[in-house]
């Protein structure tokens, strides 16, 4: 673990926080880009218009669950999101700014699509990712102890990947 100091305080920087900062926050980027696409270019600099577009986008009942979750996280900090948005900041930078205000945005990720992955690539995934794939499919892996058992279970249930 690395430590960065600022005067007296030491801030630990863990592997997960670095990963989250460097990951693309794809769901957040998609949401912010969709909101930006709803607005005319001249309305980007108007904070009330941006906030109204966010509210309209998030009120859509047909949003997928991950986008709804990001909307849930950005709704209380609408003003803080509208500020960098209105200055013309790129979408990925806006999402990094949102992540500073509410770190839970980083936890929202698109599911791993493993149906088209070859067996070698599935075997390279971590056990945590394999468990997540199985959970997304609604499948349990009882008595799975080793990684190879999880890999085999993911391969066996590959036909369930597109049904959810």
Q: Tell me the average pLDDT of the chain.
A: 79
Q: Band the pLDDT of 16: cuts 50, 70, 90.
A: very low
Number of domains in the chain: 2
Determine whether 131 is exposed, middle or buried from the number of CB atoms within 10 Å of its CB (0-12, 13-18, 19+).
middle
Q: In terms of pTM, does the model score above 0.75?
A: no
User: Are 50 and 82 in contact, with CB atoms under 8 Å apart?
Assistant: yes
Same-domain pairing of 80 and 126: no
- The structure tokens listed for 40 are 């005319």
Say yes or no: 51 and 126 in one domain.
Answer: no
The DSSP secondary-structure symbol of 16 reads: H
Residue 138 has pLDDT above 60, yes or no: yes
Q: Is residue 112 one of the residues assigned to a domain?
A: no
In this structure, what is the dihedral angle of CA atoms 29, 34, 38, 44, given to the nearest 10 degrees?
A: 0
What residues make up the domain containing 156? 119-160
Dihedral (CA of 111, 103, 95, 66) sign: positive
Neighbours of 137 (CB within 10 A): 20
**Pairwise CA distance, residues 144 & 151, whole Å:** 10
Q: What is the pLDDT of residues 17-39, one digit of tens each?
A: 444 544 557 888 889 899 999 98
pLDDT at 132: 86
Q: Model confidence over 58-114: pLDDT tens digits? A: 999 998 888 898 889 888 888 888 898 888 889 888 888 888 888 888 777 776 666
Decide if 76 is inside a domain.
yes
Residue 56 is predicted with a pLDDT of 94
**Is 138 contained in some domain?**
yes
Per residue, the 3-state secondary structure of 22-49, as one string, reads HCCCHHHHHHHHHHHHHCCHHHCCCHHH
Residue 114: inside a domain: no
**Higher pLDDT among residues 160 and 67, named by residue:** 67
Given a contact cutoff of 8 angstroms between Cβ atoms, the answer to whether 18 and 50 are in contact is no
Among 79, 107, 135, give the residue marking a domain's end.
107
| pLDDT of amino acid 123 | 87
Indicate whether 96 and 123 sit together in one domain: no
- Final residue belonging to a domain, choices 85, 107, 129: 107
């Amino acid at each position: 673990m690395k430590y960065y100091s600022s005067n007296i305080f030491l801030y630990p920087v863990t592997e997960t926080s670095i990963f989250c900062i460097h990951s693309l926050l794809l769901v957040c980027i998609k949401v912010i880009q969709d909101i930006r696409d709803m607005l005319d270019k001249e309305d980007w600099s108007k904070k009330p218009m941006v906030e109204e577009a966010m509210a309209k986008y998030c009120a859509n009942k047909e949003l997928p669950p991950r986008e709804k979750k990001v909307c849930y996280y950005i709704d209380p900090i609408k003003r803080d999101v509208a500020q960098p948005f209105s200055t013309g900041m790129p979408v990925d930078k806006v999402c990094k700014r949102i992540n500073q205000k509410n770190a839970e945005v980083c936890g929202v990720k698109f599911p791993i699509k493993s149906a088209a992955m070859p067996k070698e690539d599935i075997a390279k995934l971590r056990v945590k990712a394999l468990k997540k794939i199985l959970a997304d499919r609604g499948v349990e892996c009882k008595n799975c102890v080793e990684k190879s058992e999880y890999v085999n279970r993911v391969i066996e249930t590959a036909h369930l990947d597109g049904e959810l």
